[in-house]
Each structure stands twice: as C-alpha cells, then as structure tokens.
Chain A
C-alpha cells in the first residue's frame, strides 16, 4: 500500500496526518480505531474460547460432585510436582510474552524477538513435561474412554472404583484440548518472532503481537484453573 492510494473517505485523516500509514486499512478512520476494533474482535474470540473450556469445567464439576471419592482417588495418581513445574513454566511464558509487547511498544526489535523466542522455548518445555506425564499414564493402561485398563502397582486398584475412568477421560480431554491450544500458540508466537525479526512491527503498529499475547494469556489462565482442579483437590 502506498500513500497515494488513500481513498476519499480518509480525507479527515489526511488533515491530521500528512501521509496514510502503510498499516492502516482504508475502512478505518484512524490507526487507533483499527487497533481498538482488532482488540475487541480478539476479546470476543477469547470469550468463545473461555466458553469452550467452561463446558469441560461444567462436566468436571458435575461428575466430581456426584463422585467425590473416585475423583480424589484418581486425582492422587497425577504428579503434582510436574503439574506445579508446568504451572511455573506457563506463568513465566506469560511474563515473557507481556515483556515482548513492552519492548515492541518501545521499538526495541531485538528484545521483542528474544522475548518471543523465550516464550516459544517455555511453551515447548510445557509440552515436553506434558508428554512425559501422558506417557507415565499410558504405561499403566490409563487411557481415556473405553480403553481405560489400569495395570501395575499403584494403578490396578483403580479398576475397582466406579467413575475413575470418567475422571481420566475428563483429564485427557481437558489437558488435550489445552495442549492443542499451546501448539497453536507456539505456531503464532514463532510467526510473530519471525515477523518481528523481519521488521514488520514498530511502536506505531504491533497489533498482531498484542493479539497473540492476549491469546497466550488465555491459554495460561485456562491452565491456572486446570492445575488445582485436576492435580490438587
């Protein structure tokens, strides 16, 4: 987009600015309006994400309320140390993504890229820990749904308790969908790091970084609720 393509509808803008900024699409009055619209759209999307997970939280609440002992028993087989470490990993990644926005607002390209790449590494670390947790469960026949067939000491007795399989189904579906969101987030953050490195963003325009950050924080918030409900109580 070049400056001379500014359509007639942006006349009012042209009185404020001498030129049409390259990032500003012609159907917006100003960069500020464009930024606010994008952000509102993102918040609406995040609400649909929250509602998606809330359905799973309701399923958890109903089954837990009906079978508190089975849930306590099944939950005690999850490794709370790994769960805690993963919580800290995700919280740190939220900090680094918040820092990346701080740095792009100050036009510090290099630190923005470093923050985004740190976030990417932390997200990868989260998935690696999750992988080991899943493998430890699969080894003992702890699968979601009908495949549930616990074997080995420390797990065999679960077969006799009704509604333990439901706990693990809910556990795998909740952490699984959360994990898919982490993978998508890694893709977005990697893309943002590459674009920031390429010099696409500045303090004048960094909307994609801002929106990716919002998405990543929601992924963190979902985990903030998943962790105590699945691992601790």
Chain B
C-alpha cells in the first residue's frame, strides 16, 4: 500500500520494515524449537547455562528489534542495561552465598558466636576415657 506520508511518517521515528519483523519472529520460533529439542539431551551442569543462553538470545532479539531499542534514544538502552546489571548482581551475589554454604571447611551453619560458645563448653567439660570409647556401631 502506497502512502503519501511515507517520507515524513512518524516524524523521524524509525519504522521497522515488516520483513525485518517477520525474520525476527522466525528466529524466535527457531530458537524456541532448538530450546525444546535440546531439552531431550542431558547436558549435566551445562543444562541451565544452555537454556539461559538461548532464552537470553531470544530476549535480546525482542528487546533490540520488537522494542526497537536498537533504533532508540540511547538513554533507554542505558536504563535497560543498568536494570539488567542489577538483576545480575541480585542473582549472582545471592547464589554466591546460598550455593556455597557448607562447601568449605571454614563455613558452618552455626554463627561465629555459637561456635565460640560451643568450643568454650567443650574446653570446660571433662573428657575422660569413657567418652572416648568407640562402639562397634560407630564404625559402620
């Protein structure tokens, strides 16, 4: 359809051509198919990174083309990037705590104060031979 207003349509706003929109949609569907297809295989520890990588690729396509961030005022890109950065900080710093609790020898579920109190109690208590005896059931 021809438009007389095409030249100055939307007053300098970028109009994304329909073929571009369709190509992006095709890519999104293809990436969805790949995501579903790959889920049949077991990648062990790489399962989450692969799934998140594909999802991020899809999200990037939507943000850049459908949401037109690529053609937009750069301040919107800055706003979005800072937001994503803080999501990453939120996720990574939380997992740095929760994912590694109890993995290292110097980390335990008791607080430092509780551990000190326990050590004091142990030092105060009399340890005699009886307590050190090992029962056969301890060996199993």
Asked if A107 is an interface residue, CB under 8 A from chain B, the answer is yes
- Whether B87 pairs with A54 at a CB distance below 8 angstroms is yes
- Whether B55 pairs with A225 at a CB distance below 8 angstroms is yes
CB distance from A220 to the nearest CB of B (A): 6
- Whether B15 pairs with A106 at a CB distance below 8 angstroms is yes
- Whether B16 pairs with A102 at a CB distance below 8 angstroms is yes
Interface of A is mostly: helix
Contact residues in A for B5 (Cβ distance below 8 Å): 106-107, 203
Contact residues in B for A32 (Cβ distance below 8 Å): 11-12
Interface of B is mostly: helix
CB distance from B120 to the nearest CB of A (A): 32
Expressed in whole angstroms, the Cα–Cα distance for A206 and B52 within the complex equals 34
**Given contacts A32-B12, A62-B95, A221-B63, A95 and B21 within 8 Å (CB-CB):** yes
Expressed in whole angstroms, the Cα–Cα distance for A50 and B88 within the complex equals 11
Residue of B nearest to A222 (CB): B59
Asked if A175 is an interface residue, CB under 8 A from chain B, the answer is no
Contact sample, A vs B, 30 pairs, CB 8 Å cutoff: A36-B75, A43-B79, A46-B83, A47-B82, A50-B84, A51-B90, A55-B90, A65-B95, A84-B32, A87-B32, A91-B29, A91-B32, A94-B62, A98-B21, A98-B66, A99-B18, A99-B21, A105-B10, A106-B1, A106-B3, A106-B9, A106-B10, A203-B9, A204-B11, A206-B10, A214-B67, A221-B58, A228-B35, A228-B55, A229-B51
- List B residues at the A interface (Cβ < 8 Å): 1, 3, 5-6, 9-13, 15-18, 21-22, 24-25, 28-29, 32, 35-36, 39, 47-48, 51-52, 54-55, 58-59, 62-63, 65-67, 72-73, 75-76, 79-80, 82-84, 86-87, 90-91, 94-95, 98-99
- List A residues at the B interface (Cβ < 8 Å): 31-32, 35-36, 39-40, 43-44, 46-47, 50-51, 54-55, 57-58, 61-62, 65-66, 80, 84, 87-88, 91-92, 94-95, 97-99, 102, 105-108, 203-204, 206, 213-214, 217, 220-221, 224-225, 227-229, 232-233
